[in-house]
Amino acid sequence: MPKIMIIEDDRAVREELTLLLTNEGYIPIPVTSFQDIVQQTKEAAPDLILLDLGLPGQDGLSLCAELRRNSNTPIIFVTSRNSTADELLALSMGGDDYICKPYNIPLLLTRIKVILRRSSLKAEPDYTEIKGLRLNLAKGTVTANNMSICLTRNEIQILAHLMTHAGEIVSRADLIESLWNSKIYIDDNTLSVNITRLRNKLDELGLSDYIKTRRGLGYQI
């Protein structure tokens, strides 16, 4: 589950956020010592930080800037300062969102979910590379032996699923289910056509035996 660090000096608010996040299935990391917070953050490696502006010994804005020099961990400011100037400054210093106290709990939880989802999408690589073949998901291309070729949506999904399970035998039923889960509705005959076309394209790249048939079982990379 995602780890969320709570950098909040108000004990009541900190404990409330800790309980709230625990009930939502997150792993809260409440900060109780405000010395060397940057080091604490490095050691905890949270997936998201809830940060107050008013902290003992250090302003939340300067702490945000310092954190940004070492990490891209999303930061949501949760503060009682409700001026537009503070919000603009906080976001310009590297904050991902700004929520004023007293916060609306459903809104806070929704924004946490949105930020975490956005962060996880950014973290996913645009390509997969297995056995000399690179599949670029963003461009819809495959590259091998200094040559590239474009794939159709179906071919991308089939190849991506096989590459994710490289070394394993993937049944035809599993491939069809994977396509259906991606809202690509095909039958067994259409799968055969797509496999043939995909193999022909890989052959053009010099990878004629990249997708092996395991008779009666399925396919394997």
How many structural domains compose the chain? Answer: 2
- Report how far residue 106's alpha carbon sits from residue 173's, in angstroms, rounded to the nearest whole number: 40
201 and 95 both lie in a single domain: no
100 and 18 both lie in a single domain: yes
87 and 155 both lie in a single domain: no
Whole-structure pTM value: 0.57
pLDDT, tens digit, 9 for 90 and up, residues 191-205: 999 999 999 999 999
- Report how far residue 173's alpha carbon sits from residue 187's, in angstroms, rounded to the nearest whole number: 10
pLDDT score recorded for residue 106: 93
Whether the pLDDT of residue 123 is over 60: the answer is no
Q: Which domain holds residue 83?
A: 3-123
Instruction: Look up the CATH number of the domain holding residue 109.
Output: 3.40.50.2300
Instruction: Look up the CATH number of the domain holding residue 205.
Output: 1.10.10.10
What is the average pLDDT value for the chain, to the nearest integer? 91
176 and 112 both lie in a single domain: no
134 and 213 both lie in a single domain: yes
111 and 11 both lie in a single domain: yes
Strand, coil or helix: 141? strand
